[in-house]
Chains A and B, each alone.
Chain A
């Protein structure tokens, strides 16, 4: 059992407010990812949970106990650092056993626990090596092993994959997801990479300028971003934003006037909108469809063929729009193309950047990674 609550946490360095009052609930065995651009405060938040940084105000509560004044080693947490922070002068075994050595655990017992962890991570053949003699991925695993050995109630990962190359990152991502299932522990994970967030999280916390923008499952954030920042941050390539005019609002949604003159009705709740509100339409590149009858038109400036997919960068007046199209599209640079979108896939943002609530709940929006698992378990039965 390990739950974590943050209550009105703030952190200031001198006059800069890095964290501006964060409330958060992490449930038992949950994989929570803090994601946000650099400087958003995600690492600071994690370091406060770890106890490496003190909170300026607010409560940090683990399993119902306020632990603001408890030292980092006594919070029952383990942390995997971005740089791995292995002790360079110790062997892998000593690295993993250091916490137990400090706690005066007998040698035999120490070795036993290290071996167990090493087995999980396939580190047995490396136990006598020094970190210098390990590859990046192996160091990463030792750092994780060092955390496992402590048997923590909550694992903290501070951008653990950012020092690995792309291929290894994919592999470690899978390994971490597997580890989460195997250890059945609560994990908090910091990253600036929204792909890592999307692939691993049960719950994503999007941070921006020291504040929580949105908390939700990956699919929820993808399909129902609550504001323009989250919409732009989650999803790759980035969502396209177009300024549109408000035609009228009605029970089934909001009718908007598109650049180029067409109109379209988006199923969103526009009841709060004033008559002449400025609106922004957001459509993800993968939801823009090439269509000779489509309401939008532009000229292709750049064309990136990835094989299975083709990215089109289309000039629409002042605006550059990205379209993810099929790999087989025959267009060339400087072709004029028409395109459109399904209204249910579109998002509307008001002048303050807030999303108009969608009238259609996406069927997968409540899905978490855990649900994926349960479903597959059920299939195998």
Chain B
């Protein structure tokens, strides 16, 4: 294991974040604040409390999840897609490191970045509403697991994408709908029964529900079920990445 190589990739990717600080950190914070102003304060003040939690407070975990899901995918996919696109990936591929080390560097950096954004958003939200976290350990567990597994998904997407269009289409057409329909802004109980059933097939629901439970002890599904879903999602991503590396998919001719 070449820790130096892993930390080199990691630092390189983190540095890219600092170079593009505004779009990397400022824009998710800004958009979350906007959501907050619109949904939390303006509209939320007219919505009654959900299971004893005021609406402004209720949407905080969902907003954080929304941000870290999209950020993890965007960062990790771009991080590996861009060198593949410019051809600069040749250097990483010819370096004396294993695929696993490459993965640790890229996904580690993307996940760290998402985690930082998650914490920043939480802090920003705390300016609008007074947030109490009932189960901090659970909260961090869900946050970290989500950052890692969706960064892995982004990495897979970045490896798979042959062009910029493909790179954009998955987040746009699949992830965004899943996130919005995953109980980010509402409790699933508020939906008609048929939609409640359909929503149960949406993995994002489990993430948001578990994450929200760690704040308010209010959830759509049991917290252990949430944990099981996120862990199996993580395992699936690891299996796909493992297969990609084993076959040299899109990297090695």
- Same assembly: no
Which A residues have a C-beta under 8 Å from some C-beta of B?
none
Which B residues have a C-beta under 8 Å from some C-beta of A?
none
